[in-house]
Amino acid sequence: MIKRNPRAHQQNSQEKIAKECYFCQNGINDIDYKDGQFLRRWLSSYSKIVPRRRSGVCTKHQRKLAQAIKRARYMSLIPYCPR
Minimum CB separation of residue 20 from Zn ion in Å reads 7
**61 near Zn ion (CB under 5 A):** yes
Q: How many Å is the Cα radius of gyration of the chain?
A: 15
Question: In b/e form, how buried is each residue of 23-47, taking b as 16+ CB within 10 angstroms?
Answer: beeeeeeebebeebebbeebbeeee
- Contact pattern for Zn ion over residues 16 through 45, marking x by CB under 5 A: -----x-xx---------------------
Contacting Zn ion (CB under 5 A), which of 43, 49, 58, 66? 58
Closest residue to Zn ion using C-beta atoms: 21
The helices-and-strands tally (H runs, E runs) of the chain is 5, 0
Question: DSSP secondary-structure letter at 39?
Answer: H
Least distance (Å) from Zn ion to the CB of residue 42? 12
Binding residues (CB under 5 A) for Zn ion: these are 21, 23-24, 58, 61
